Structure 1
């Protein structure tokens, strides 16, 4: 059967249209002949994310980002359209997590599949959007407190410098310079003194040697004396001394009780009174001898002298 020219033109036009549609979708990342699925996720911020960014599941690329735009409800949130070419099934409760691919590698989206027994995610469904903290964010989280501490430290250091400037005024600086000059003089004098000491030591070396030798002999003698003391029976001597002290203590106790002659002299009040009276009588006798020596001449003379009564005045 002969095909007319009009049919050929129609077939060619339809083929061109189909080829254009296929090529256009292919350039957009959509394969109309494959089993591609489209998902959506909403984010507050997608800085670093661009169209054609890979979409991964467990690190395996399974699609790409095909469109990024505002959600259109006035909230300012961003709607990201994802194209997944894999037939891998996951729950509708799975999560589309935005993460950093590296320090300078931009961002990508990883689908975190959920296997919770819920229905599988179907084409044109929404996935929960989330953001995984990247290295730069972690660094910022660590550096922010450190920056605050550094700022506080710098502020404290600035205050310290201001206080130091207030303390080290012209008068203080002058005093410090004077003190340093005096210290230099002291060090110079110390050097001269050390030189004099060196000369003195050198000139008296023989005497110092003799003195040290004498000290050595003295220490040796002391060592011998200490050995002699160590060899002596000090314990026996101490025991004898303790026994003597105990006997002396007994004697004192006996004296206190009035035992013995000395104890009776110390404790017998009658004997004390008799001695006191005898002392008084002896004192009167001596006084009478001085006043009336004639009365006692017969006693003191070798010859017997008759007693004569003294004349009364």
Structure 2
């Protein structure tokens, strides 16, 4: 009976060890430690780890390649020494930088290895160059600080502007500004009234515009006719310019002088009544003779046919 009891306790103990071991391996696996593939150890020194903790992941090109194994404080140099466990399959070129960065918006930290491009590779146990990336909180804090300073300066300038405006706008100037604003309001009302009237009389305005268009067309036609008339006048003026007006005037003057001269034939005809009546009588008798011949040509004209 006693032998069976010992066997049961042994089984319970063995099962507990197995559970504890499985739990340990699970925790280590979640930390990024792979016991089936070896790891290399590297170190990085920081003045401030900015919230980095053991078991924080270590990534290479975005892929989790290891984890933080331990963080120790160097009393002599007053710096933090971070021990990094990295899978052996990852080789680090010279110039690789272990940078602490914000893994999430909640402030969780992790390390990313920025591969260098120098010849050669780091060996296990080497100390890598280090850097700390500014996290979102610090960037927001700086931006908010700058914004705060800008707002403070703006408020200060605004206060000065208000003080200067109050000094400028004394009682008299305030009344002037008020009067100007009233005039502006009145002008805006007049413009609004004119716009409404224009909209209301839109048809009449359109007819007036159409009539004005017709009038302009007729004026254009009249202008064309006037241009033609002016061209005729220009030709007549040119012809008159080429005509010997002086000679014509001299001829008329000479004719008038002859009519006035009592010694000339025309002058005697116009100035001597007896000669005038004699010529007039001859013309009357000639007219009577022509009329008689026209009425009875056989009596006065004898035509012999051979």
TM-score (norm 2): 0.49
**Structure-1-length-normalised TM-score:** 0.48
